[in-house]
Structure 1
């Protein structure tokens, strides 16, 4: 299909066994390698253990015929529902633009449903409530039961920022997970139309600092550790340095500089120039971290033990006295000690009449 695709991320959240994965399967036309509980452990236990990604493509709402941006790709982020996997749920919620809260219509609001609602209030601005498994309701009383659950959900959402959010009934997998694939899902086309009306195209900033939310990390034999994720802002190219704060990796030949340049400065123009550290070492600007203003400095001779001591955050243990007793080491708490600031100096000459506008440093 011709035309550039505009992507939005829709989270599928809810209590365990509310039919989230079945709903994602019914909506999707393309699945990733991690979609629909493909892990052996997930199939064995019958629950979602990791984030699953799949998508479907529809015409972009409001697009003029003949324009290049005619397709809207809706990426579904299928999140686990088990309480012990709350960190994985939060990881999925931080990349979504809209949230589908899936409710088992026969059970109503449950513990993890409420937790997902709280996460949604923090992570996104729009919500669609999906009342799933309507096929399990008695046919004669089905509409009355749907209306009753709709009113309950409206009352639940009344004191949240999602007040007035649309609520739609569906049956993603009629007959349950073990039923044969003979009956078509109910309400899926209506749900797609509802999603199209609720989706707002997010603004992605390719010129901002590079920020990627990591959703999977695994090892490939002969290659090493591989991370996959969703880029929320900025761009990256081969050879760029990426900071992974959670790893807290340190070495004797590299330091990260900041506050020397403005965020809008193209630091690539300064790569290769020498900088002087207030600790005495001389370094070379090696690379930049997007347009965050941070940059990597290579120290050819390495940091001295004194400099490493200054630059390394230290944690001091603090003892707590027992009540009515002399001070003793009952428990230890760690707190970071203040770090002595290290300043950077960059000196260069730029000649007014130089057409190439080179920056020159004296040896």
Structure 2
């Protein structure tokens, strides 16, 4: 049995086709093809939830388009699937079912939120889907997606072990736009392998990260973006994997890139370099320090003081005057941002790692 896995997909605009002929052949060679649908399909009546960050949605024909390309299982545990509330999520699930496909990571089709999708071929395989604790997470919304650090997930993994041959977990977590996983996520993923998971397929950082073999299991930390047609993600250079599941599990890595609006197979990706970075503590510390100062420190200042996230010397006086006049207007948003920075595991891990590394004695 062959199963194709890819990373994040957002099809925000109408397209006639997004998959090249060469990649279609790879998809058609598999018994199942799984993608992370990063955003819901919303109708006109769907209103955005209150949250930090952008609200994403997919075009009305997205499921039909992806199913035509070969995808038949949609992972829905991610930080944007609840962007337009339960109404849009339910409509998305309906669209998936109407196209003869299935989903995992949220409740539906006779399964509770944390229960896996079981596929059958030469072997019986349970596929779980879970994500970091962002807006729409089940931890704070009973209709939300599965939380990757919830004891409920561990319980379901232990429960299904005696009923299947293999367990695969799709993990949507990590710090965005860095090419190495945080050690905290490596620790959690290894715990899940020790618990009984055979393969972890990661995404969310939007860029590829490496993989490792650990205790007989495979951990792919981030497949990156597969197709993401929102601003800033035009190329989407990354990779997918095909798992060949029989008496053991082997895999084929498929590098690809979006060229002229279609995902094309390319010759190679720097996977050896990405793999080596996983174990390079010096590199990880540098990345965390850089990201903290470039991204997180401005967020913290803005959330706590209402200061602009960036301003130069020339505009300093003007910025301070505006802050004094308007500091209470956006207070709710700032408080939500502050809460977001410490509720989401990835953000909290990086912030804590920065301060621990710079101030612990």
TM range (shorter): under 0.3
Q: Point out the structure with the larger strand share.
A: 1
TM-score, length of structure 1 as denominator length: 0.25
Q: Point out the structure with the larger helix share.
A: 2
- RCO higher in 1 or 2 (8 Å CA, sep ≥ 6)? 2
TM-score, length of structure 2 as denominator length: 0.25
Larger radius of gyration: 1
